[in-house]
């Protein structure tokens, strides 16, 4: 049993140290309590819905989210808009479809099965409209940045006056948390820039938190299912391990040896 | 296996077994005499088999949904994560399964190094193992390329470029590997093909690995030959089966933790950015399990010599049975070797750490010292140690009464003094 413990602690040590090595090189990000962290972490539904509002009214002007469909908005574990609401959201967008029988492309209102409509035709068009910088697609943005949600949350609130002596080119802004501190995106949020439909006060901090939560869901739509299944799986494995341990002791008791 | 007499009880069984002795094989596998003093470090063979099967099964399902095309690969992975039923689960098991596979294989290899399992008469088992390890690295590397993220693309570029170090034909070889003049769609499709092929090669080699093991039988913590069958051994079933099963379950708990609660922690964030040949990531780092060799590669200033050093670091293991001149297998009875063993473990961990850091300044210096020590261990320390070291006398058998059947010397001595 001593050996098992030793072995187990080696593996745990490995896991912990690998986590540390990866998170060691980060700047101190702003912290907030995310409801989706931890063993039972779940999304805050209201925050997701507000986050969608921030995304669609602010971010979506430049940032695409090409791997999401409107149907996702009503799916379990997400913002969980009602199907009717999601349909209304989809219908508020114009989607290019076709070609029709005459070989023409045509516009129609969006359906649940449509992917999120993109703000630009292609990457080049996006770059041209944004001073040469491509606003990255937001579908998996949280997973594509070291620091994840904390980084995005901090970045949105990290706009400051550039320190003395730092010369910024036209269209470049100073951000405390950006790699190299220079960012082409101007501060996207300001107090009261949108009016939340649920009456929550739209402070920069609140909007940052909501939209980051929404982005986390966009990148990991099955996070809740994963946490729920994970807990069941691990409890099941632990019970089975204990049972197998006692069976093993029983079987090995016939032999003069240690297990 | 030829020494095995077995007659099935049923008539149908005998009829079948006379024509294809599968039942004899099954009987051999259940009765296979195993030293009864094996500790938990010996359970990783079974765990590795589990890892291989898991990778193959999840990989098959992923291959049904994945599209090996430079324009669609990244999107198809997101399709798996979002639209395929339990696609996220299968992909996370497969991605973390690779890390778990390597974690287990490193423990398995270092167990062998500690207990001298590579020594006569088990050299062939060991060499097959090293070939499996090499194939695993190839499979893992190519698998990492398939999602076609930034690290996939640039990792592939860096590693394939190593071949350009070959004198005269290097550039041609690289073009041939790429199927073009840069890492592109032809590279992706061939990597996918090879990534699909290699696990089955590994599976075949695993069969040979186990077959070769079953000829001399298992080594054990005491490292002396056991008479089989005897009081020193227990039949594989149920004794080893249940013990391996128990260890596997413990391993699966760790595995499940990664899959369900930290599925991306062992990967690199940049791989969630679609490959872009025009943007180079700030740091190109391989997956953690390749880092020690990456450190060795970068510690040599010359490209060709760096590649040679990296390859030698792996291939040197294949000739280990002949570099280690000691006849004593287990480090338990080799007090000096035991210390050098732990220094080697630390050395490899240090190499892994500096492999993840930028190759400059102090990191580079540490990498160079650690690389030099790595080779020193195998080329100088091991051959000399075998000739000079004063070893502790071996017990006569693993159940020798004085030793109380324990491989642990301290415990054995304690028991010894009690008897006196």
pLDDT tens-digit series, residues A200-216: 999 999 999 999 999 99
Does residue B112 fall inside a structural domain? yes
Residues of chain B with pLDDT under 70: 1-4, 228, 400-420
Question: Which domain covers residue B103, as residue numbers?
Answer: 32-284
Put simply, the answer to whether B89 touches A144 (Cβ < 8 Å) is no
Put simply, the answer to whether B40 touches A7 (Cβ < 8 Å) is yes
Q: Which 349-378 residues of chain B touch chain A by CB within 8 A?
A: 353, 356
pLDDT tier for residue A14 given thresholds of 50, 70 and 90: low
Q: Is the reported ipTM for this assembly greater than 0.95?
A: no
The nearest alpha carbon in chain A to B80 belongs to A67
Kindly report the CATH number assigned to the domain that includes residue B338: 1.10.287
Cα–Cα distances in Å, from A156 out to A65, A190, B163? 18, 10, 44
- The answer, for A24 touching chain B at a CB cutoff of 8 Å, is no
Return all residues near B321 (Cβ < 8 A) that are at least 6 apart. Answer: B118, B119, B120, B123, B126
What is the CB neighbour count within 10 angstroms for residue A108? 14
Provide the domain count of chain B.
3
Q: What is the mean pLDDT of chain B?
A: 93
Per-residue pLDDT tens digits for B47-79: 999 999 999 999 999 999 999 999 999 999 999
- The answer, for A17 touching chain B at a CB cutoff of 8 Å, is no
Shared-domain flag, residues B242 and B322: no
Shared-domain flag, residues B145 and B263: yes
Residue ending a domain, among B284, B305, B336, is B284
Cα–Cα distances in Å, from B295 out to B107, B132, B291, B301? 20, 22, 6, 12
Put simply, the answer to whether B405 touches A256 (Cβ < 8 Å) is yes
Residue ending a domain, among B229, B260, B284, is B284
- The answer, for A253 touching chain B at a CB cutoff of 8 Å, is no
The continuous run of DSSP H or E covering B225 comes out as none
Residues of B in contact with A244 (CB under 8 A): 242, 245-246, 249
Shared-domain flag, residues B332 and B370: yes
Per-residue pLDDT tens digits for A85-141: 999 999 999 999 999 999 999 999 999 999 999 999 999 999 999 988 999 999 999
- The answer, for B411 touching chain A at a CB cutoff of 8 Å, is no
Residue B203 C-beta-side C-alpha neighbours within 13 Å: 13
Q: What is the mean pLDDT of chain A?
A: 91
What is the CB neighbour count within 10 angstroms for residue B243? 24
Q: How close B408 comes to chain A (CA, Å)?
A: 11
**Region A173-177 average pLDDT:** 94
The rounded distance, in Å, linking the Cα atoms of B163 and B296 is: 16
The rounded distance, in Å, linking the Cα atoms of A233 and A239 is: 10
Q: Which 13-52 residues of chain B touch chain A by CB within 8 A?
A: 36-37, 39-41
Does residue B416 fall inside a structural domain? no
Token code pair at residue B235: 């039949």
Q: Which of A3, A11, A139 to mutate to test the interface with B (most CBs of B within 10 A)?
A: A11
Task: Judge whether B178 and B115 are in contact, CB under 8 Å.
Answer: no
Does residue B413 fall inside a structural domain? no
Helix (H, G, I), strand (E, B) or coil at B167: coil
Return all residues near B93 (Cβ < 8 A) that are at least 6 apart. Answer: B54, B58, B259
The nearest alpha carbon in chain A to B267 belongs to A22
Does residue B414 fall inside a structural domain? no
Shared-domain flag, residues B81 and B195: yes
pLDDT tier for residue A256 given thresholds of 50, 70 and 90: confident
Residues of B in contact with A3 (CB under 8 A): 39-41
Radius of gyration for the alpha carbons in chain A, expressed in angstroms and rounded = 24
- The answer, for B71 touching chain A at a CB cutoff of 8 Å, is no
Q: How close B158 comes to chain A (CA, Å)?
A: 21
Kindly report the CATH number assigned to the domain that includes residue B121: 1.20.810.10
Q: What ranges in B215-334 are assigned the alpha helix state H? A: 241-261, 291-299, 303-315, 320-323
- The answer, for B262 touching chain A at a CB cutoff of 8 Å, is yes
- The answer, for A236 touching chain B at a CB cutoff of 8 Å, is no
The nearest alpha carbon in chain A to B38 belongs to A259
Task: Judge whether B352 and B291 are in contact, CB under 8 Å.
Answer: yes
Residues of B in contact with A226 (CB under 8 A): 88-89, 92, 260, 263
ω before B100 within 30° of 0 (cis)?
no
B382 bridge partner residues: none
The continuous run of DSSP H or E covering B72 comes out as none
Task: Judge whether A145 and A152 are in contact, CB under 8 Å.
Answer: yes
pLDDT tier for residue A27 given thresholds of 50, 70 and 90: confident
User: In this complex, which of A15, A19, A233 lies closest to B260 when CB atoms are compared?
Assistant: A233
Shared-domain flag, residues B179 and B306: no
Put simply, the answer to whether B103 touches A11 (Cβ < 8 Å) is yes
The rounded distance, in Å, linking the Cα atoms of B179 and A189 is: 47
Give the pLDDT confidence score for residue B33 in this predicted structure: 94
- The answer, for A67 touching chain B at a CB cutoff of 8 Å, is yes
Does residue B420 fall inside a structural domain? no
User: In this complex, which of A234, A245, A256 lies closest to B246 when CB atoms are compared?
Assistant: A245
Does residue B406 fall inside a structural domain? no
Put simply, the answer to whether B253 touches A238 (Cβ < 8 Å) is yes
Q: Which 26-65 residues of chain A touch chain B by CB within 8 A?
A: 39
Give the pLDDT confidence score for residue A244 in this predicted structure: 98
What is the CB neighbour count within 10 angstroms for residue B259? 25
A106 bridge partner residues: A97
Shared-domain flag, residues B27 and B37: no
The residue ranking higher by pLDDT, B299 or A22, is B299
Q: Which of A3, A7, A246 to mutate to test the interface with B (most CBs of B within 10 A)?
A: A7
Shared-domain flag, residues B14 and B104: no
Opening angle at CA A202, ends A196 and A207, nearest 5: 95
- For tokens 């596979």, name the residue: B101
The nearest alpha carbon in chain A to B271 belongs to A144
Residue ending a domain, among B284, B304, B324, is B284
**Of A57, A25, A55, A13, nearest in space to A147 by CA:** A25
Shared-domain flag, residues B102 and B21: no
- The answer, for A106 touching chain B at a CB cutoff of 8 Å, is no
Q: Is A100 exposed, middle or buried (0-12, 13-18, 19+ CB in 10 A)?
A: exposed
Shared-domain flag, residues B70 and B25: no
Put simply, the answer to whether B246 touches A244 (Cβ < 8 Å) is yes
Shared-domain flag, residues B80 and B167: yes
Shared-domain flag, residues B261 and B164: yes
Helix (H, G, I), strand (E, B) or coil at B35: strand
Give the pLDDT confidence score for residue B419 in this predicted structure: 41
Per-residue pLDDT tens digits for A53-76: 999 999 999 999 999 999 999 999
The nearest alpha carbon in chain B to A235 belongs to B253
Does residue B412 fall inside a structural domain? no
Q: How close A195 comes to chain B (CA, Å)?
A: 31
Put simply, the answer to whether B103 touches A14 (Cβ < 8 Å) is yes
Shared-domain flag, residues B334 and B353: yes
Give yes or no for residue A255 having a pLDDT over 60: yes
Token code pair at residue B85: 């039923």
- The answer, for B253 touching chain A at a CB cutoff of 8 Å, is yes
**Of A116, A65, A107, nearest in space to A89 by CA:** A116
Give the pLDDT confidence score for residue B399 in this predicted structure: 74
Cα–Cα distances in Å, from B353 out to A17, A231, B150, B263, B359? 11, 32, 22, 21, 11
Give the pLDDT confidence score for residue B396 in this predicted structure: 85
The rounded distance, in Å, linking the Cα atoms of A244 and B226 is: 28
Does residue B84 fall inside a structural domain? yes
- The answer, for B176 touching chain A at a CB cutoff of 8 Å, is no
The rounded distance, in Å, linking the Cα atoms of A213 and A35 is: 9
The nearest alpha carbon in chain B to A37 belongs to B261
Give the pLDDT confidence score for residue A24 in this predicted structure: 47
């Amino acid at each position: 049993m001593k050996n098992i413990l030793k072995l187990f602690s080696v593996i745990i040590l490995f896991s912990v140290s690998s986590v540390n090595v990866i998170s060691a090189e980060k700047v101190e990000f702003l912290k907030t309590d995310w409801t989706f962290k931890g063993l039972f972490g779940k999304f805050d539904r209201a925050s997701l819905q507000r986050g969608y509002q921030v995304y669609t009214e602010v971010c979506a002007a430049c940032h695409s989210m090409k791997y999401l469909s409107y149907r996702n908005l009503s799916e379990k574990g997400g913002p969980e808009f009602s199907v009717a609401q999601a349909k209304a959201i989809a219908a508020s967008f114009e989607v290019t479809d076709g070609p029709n029988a005459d070989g023409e492309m045509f516009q129609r209102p969006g359906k649940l099965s449509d992917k999120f409509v993109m703000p630009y035709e292609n990457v080049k068009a996006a770059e041209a409209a944004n001073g040469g910088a491509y606003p990255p697609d937001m579908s998996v943005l949280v997973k594509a940045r070291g620091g994840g949600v904390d980084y995005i949350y901090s970045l949105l609130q990290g706009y400051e006056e550039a320190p003395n002596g730092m010369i910024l080119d036209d269209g470049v802004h100073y951000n405390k948390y950006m790699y190299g501190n220079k960012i082409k995106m101007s501060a996207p949020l300001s107090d009261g820039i949108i009016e939340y439909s649920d009456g929550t006060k739209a402070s920069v901090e609140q909007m940052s938190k909501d939209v980051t939560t929404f982005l986390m869901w966009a990148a990991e739509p099955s996070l809740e299912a994963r946490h729920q299944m994970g807990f069941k799986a691990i409890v099941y494995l632990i019970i089975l391990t204990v049972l197998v341990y006692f069976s093993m002791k029983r079987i090995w008791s016939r032999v003069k040896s240690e297990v | 296996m030829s020494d095995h007499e077995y007659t099935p009880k049923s008539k149908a069984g005998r009829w079948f077994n006379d024509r294809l002795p599968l039942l004899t094989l099954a009987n051999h596998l259940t009765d296979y005499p195993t030293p009864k003093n094996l500790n938990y470090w010996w359970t990783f063979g079974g765990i590795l088999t589990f890892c291989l099967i898991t990778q193959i099964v999840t990989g098959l399902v992923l291959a049904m949904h994945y599209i090996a095309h430079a324009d669609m690969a990244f999107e198809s992975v997101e399709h798996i994560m979002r639209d395929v039923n339990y696609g996220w689960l299968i992909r996370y098991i497969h991605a973390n399964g690779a890390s778990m596979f390597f974690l287990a294989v490193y423990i398995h290899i270092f167990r062998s190094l500690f207990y001298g399992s590579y020594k006569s008469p088990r050299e062939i088992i060991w060499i097959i193992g090293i070939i499996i390890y090499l194939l695993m690295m190839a499979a893992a590397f190519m698998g990492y390329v398939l999602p076609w993220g930034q690290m996939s693309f640039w990792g592939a570029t860096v590693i394939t470029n190593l071949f350009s170090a070959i004198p005269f034909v290097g550039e041609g070889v690289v073009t041939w590997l790429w199927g073009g003049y840069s890492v592109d769609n032809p590279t992706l499709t061939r990597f996918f093909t090879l990534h699909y092929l290699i696990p089955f090669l590994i599976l075949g080699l695993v069969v040979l690995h186990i077959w070769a093991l079953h000829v001399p039988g298992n080594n054990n913590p005491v490292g002396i030959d056991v008479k089989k069958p005897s009081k020193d051994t227990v039949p594989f079933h149920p004794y080893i089966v249940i013990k391996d099963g128990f260890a596997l379950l413990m391993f699966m708990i760790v595995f499940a933790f990664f899959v369900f609660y930290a599925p991306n922690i062992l990967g690199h964030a940049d791989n969630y950015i679609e490959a872009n040949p025009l943007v180079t990531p700030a740091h190109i780092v391989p997956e953690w399990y390749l880092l020690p060799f990456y450190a060795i590669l970068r510690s040599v200033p010359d490209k060709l010599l760096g590649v040679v050093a990296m390859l030698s670091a792996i291939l040197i293991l294949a000739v280990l049975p002949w570099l280690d001149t000691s006849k004593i297998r287990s480090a338990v009875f080799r007090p000096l070797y035991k210390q050098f063993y732990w220094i080697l473990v630390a050395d490899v961990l240090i190499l892994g750490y500096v492999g993840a850091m930028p190759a400059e300044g102090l990191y580079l210096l540490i990498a160079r010292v650690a690389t030099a020590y790595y080779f020193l261990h195998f080329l100088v320390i091991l051959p000399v140690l075998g000739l000079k070291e004063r070893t502790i006398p071996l017990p006569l058998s693993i159940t020798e009464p004085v030793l109380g059947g324990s491989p642990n010397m301290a415990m054995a001595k304690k028991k010894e003094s009690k008897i006196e």
